[in-house]
Chain A
């Protein structure tokens, strides 16, 4: 058990809909990372938050947004969903003193999104 909790574990929805994925980091970790993993793309970095502020951005679509709340949990919002958004979405946390990645990431078990 990594200590990172993601909900929901599975989600099935239709094209055009909007979903919210939630992540609770390990106790004491200030950084939260979001990654997307689809069969043909591997683990793609989406975005990182550190202590409530955005620190790094990857290839995150404009239809996607994220935030980190004062209690350090994070949410990833996916809107106007398309078939191609079907994937495993992972959240990871790390201590990251100062906001820069300093070591290992602890991953949650992922949220599997299926868009029909």
Chain B
């Protein structure tokens, strides 16, 4: 069956370090992958989209990689700040099913 896996445990890092979050998937051939940020009790907010033919995408302090061979995406936040503390969700679009499916998310806590 299709699965999207994100680290269920919270990631705790020191301010200024690089946070790296992982999204693994099985039994999907996604046309693209998206990353969202969600704060407690709020709706998810779109951050980045990367297509299957792109290896890497950057936006300010954010970087996403997409390895379709490993079936994995990595999401990096450089020079992290306490304000980056949130839950980060990856989402895959499966054209065959015409659905945008979300992973369970990884909670990031950046400590001063």
Which positions in A face B, CB cutoff 8 Å? 2, 4, 33, 35, 42-43, 45, 48, 55-56, 58, 88, 90, 92, 99-101, 103-110, 112
Contact = CB atoms under 8 A, between A and B. Distances in A.
Nearest to A40: B104
B44 A43 contact: yes
B43 A100 contact: no
A31 to B, nearest CB: 10
Contacts of A109: 42-43
B89 interface: yes
Which 3 A-B pairs have CB atoms at the shortest separation, nearest pair first?
A107-B43, A104-B46, A42-B104
Given A103-B49, A104-B46, A42 B103 contact: yes
Interface of B: 34, 41-46, 49, 89, 93, 95, 97-105
A107 B44 contact: yes
Given A42-B102, A56-B97, A101-B100, A107 B45 contact: yes
A114 to B, nearest CB: 13
Given A110-B41, A112-B41, 14 more contacts: A42-B103, A43-B102, A56-B97, A56-B98, A90-B44, A92-B44, A100-B98, A101-B99, A103-B49, A104-B34, A104-B49, A105-B100, A107-B43, A110-B42
